[in-house]
Amino acid sequence: MKAHYVRPLDLRHGRVDLNHGAGGRAMAQLIDELFARAFANDWLAQGNDGAVLPAPAAGERLVLATDAHVVSPLFFPGGDIGSLAMHGTVNDVAVMGARPLYLTASFILEEGFPLADLARIVQSMAAASRSAGVPVVTGDTKVVEQGKGDGVFISTTGLGALPAGRELGGALARPGDAVLVSGSMGEHGMAILAQRESLSFESAIVSDSAALHGLVDALLAAVPAVHVLRDPTRGGLATTLNEIARQSGVGMQLDEAAIPVHPQVAAACELLGLDPFYLANEGKLVVVCAADAADAALAALRTHPLGSDAARIGTVTADPQYFVQARTAFGGQRMLDWLSGEPLPRIC
């Protein structure tokens, strides 16, 4: 008996249809020819409703982080929703001090979305997965009717292993601690805005989207006295520092001139009336550590390509109001409050 011929997916001209999410042959073909092929690994090849994973090393604890990605546009300078989904979840696990091990991915597709664009997103995410050494081990796909989605949404969950004795968290900042950042602020948010609004600048602004677990490893190997790690995504640096201040019951005093911002981002913000300290980042760390460890932390960050522009930007203070303030270039004080409203929606 001849095998039943199934026409391959038309990844050049085809489009997503409702059958691709219906659980039948079309869905199986989409999974086999696109997702399974791109993300290929032993756990995914099990083909079950979930992945059976090995236990972490003795004494290690599990860290679980979940994220949803609705960025618009789907493709932007420096990345796309696929690589962003991988980087964002890896980073959420890494800033807990954990070693990222595995990811899950759920795709919600809109009917009519070009399969060529979907393939580009999946392949980008798979490349980011391989580069990070963090496999996608299970997932899901759903399709919604045309007009009820916006191309592609991706939800991810990351699992990591936290070594015994390591404790990092937003409630652990103490008065006198140093506040550091691993590089310049605002590039991802401005890259998204420029792409979305078709803005042209003399120098292209590129998203900083990157997996940070290698940078975190280098930092923690050199400086065990790190108290807090965060990646300042939505709401930017200012909102992230306010979160830490509230969790720890402290204030922060920053030096505005010490906070690195690339000249093209600063110029674009001045033109558009935006503040770079509230723009999203997808490849930067905020570090709070003991003051006597700050120089060693800076040195460790600067030895890594993703931390070459690291800077010490301020100090944790005792403040019952939990204020985050910055000393301006003119010698005054500026309050950096929580982000109010949503000046730039759907940046991740």
**Is the residue at 167 inside a domain?**
no
The answer on 287 and 185 residing in a single domain is yes
Question: Is the predicted pLDDT of residue 106 greater than 70, yes or no?
Answer: yes
- Bigger pLDDT: 345 vs 20: 20
Same domain, 38 and 154: yes
- State how far the Cα of 252 lies from the Cα of 177, in Å rounded to an integer: 9
Exposure class string for 30-49: b at 16+ Cβ within 10 A, else e? bbebbbbebbebebbeeeee
Report the chain's C-alpha Rg in angstroms. 22
Q: Are residues 143 and 186 in the same domain?
A: no
Q: What is the count of structural domains for the chain?
A: 2
CATH classification of the domain holding 193: 3.90.650.10
Q: Are residues 183 and 65 in the same domain?
A: no
Domain presence at residue 169: no
Q: pLDDT > 90: what percent of the chain?
A: 90
Question: C-alpha distances in angstroms, 80 versus 62, 106, 130, 188?
Answer: 29, 16, 16, 11
What residues pair up with 118 in beta bridges, in sequence order?
none
> pLDDT digit string (tens) for 47-91?
999 999 999 999 999 999 999 999 999 999 999 999 999 999 999
pTM (2 d.p.): 0.95
pLDDT value for 344: 73
Query: Which of these three, 132, 162, 192, is where a domain ends?
Result: 162
E-strand ranges in the chain read 61-69, 75-76, 79-80, 99-110, 136-144, 152-162, 178-181, 226-230, 251-255, 286-289, 311-317, 324-327, 333-335
Write out the residue range of the structural domain in which residue 152 sits: 18-45+61-162
| 37 & 110 share domain | yes
Cis amide leading into 263 (omega within 30): no
* CB neighbours of residue 266 within 10 Å: 15
Q: What is the DSSP string of 94-134?
A: HTTT-EEEEEEEEEEEETT-BHHHHHHHHHHHHHHHHHHT-
331/186 same-domain check: yes
* Residues 186 and 141 both lie in one domain: no
For 278, which DSSP code?
G
136: CATH: 3.30.1330.10
Choose the final residue of a domain: 162, 188, 223.
162
Mean pLDDT of 9-27: 94
Indicate if 111 and 232 belong to the same structural domain: no
> Could you tell me if 314 and 240 are in contact, meaning their C-beta atoms sit under 8 angstroms apart?
no
Same structural domain for residues 127 and 191? Answer: no
- Convert the pLDDT of each residue in 276-324 to its tens digit: 999 999 999 999 999 999 999 999 999 999 999 999 999 999 999 999 9
What confidence score (pLDDT) does residue 317 get? 98
Is 11 within the bounds of a domain? no
Residues 188 and 157 in one domain: no
In a domain, 55, yes or no: no
Give the alpha-carbon dihedral of 125, 126, 128, 133, to 10 degrees. 140
Asked if 126 contacts 33 with a C-beta cutoff of 8 angstroms, the reply is no
**Mean predicted lDDT score pLDDT of the chain:** 95
**270 and 121, same domain (yes or no):** no
Tell me: do 91 and 215 sit in the same domain. Answer: no
| Residue 341 pLDDT exceeds 80 | no
pLDDT given for residue 339 in this prediction: 87
244 found inside a domain:
yes
* pLDDT tens readout for residues 227-247: 999 999 999 999 999 999 999
Query: What was the pLDDT predicted at 270?
Result: 92
- Residue at 150 is within a domain: yes
Q: Could you give the CA distance from residue 277 to residue 313 in angstroms, rounded to a whole number? A: 12
**Predicted confidence band of residue 202 (pLDDT cuts 50, 70, 90):** confident
Query: Residue 265 has what pLDDT?
Result: 96
Residue keyed to tokens 């950096």? 336
Q: Please compute the mean of the pLDDT values over residues 94-116 and round it to a whole number.
A: 98
Average pLDDT over residues 3-22: 88
pLDDT at 5 (0 to 100) = 63
Residue 221 located in a structural domain: yes
Q: Is residue 10, in this structure, part of any structural domain at all? A: no
- Note the pLDDT of residue 1: 46
For residues 197 and 194, give the distance between their C-alpha atoms in angstroms, rounded to a whole number: 5
Residues for the chain: how many in total? 348
Reference 160, options 122, 104, 219, 230; nearest CA is: 104
How much is the pLDDT for 2?
54
Check residues 196 and 119 and name the one with the higher pLDDT: 119
- Count the neighbouring beta carbons within 10 Å of the beta carbon of residue 271: 10
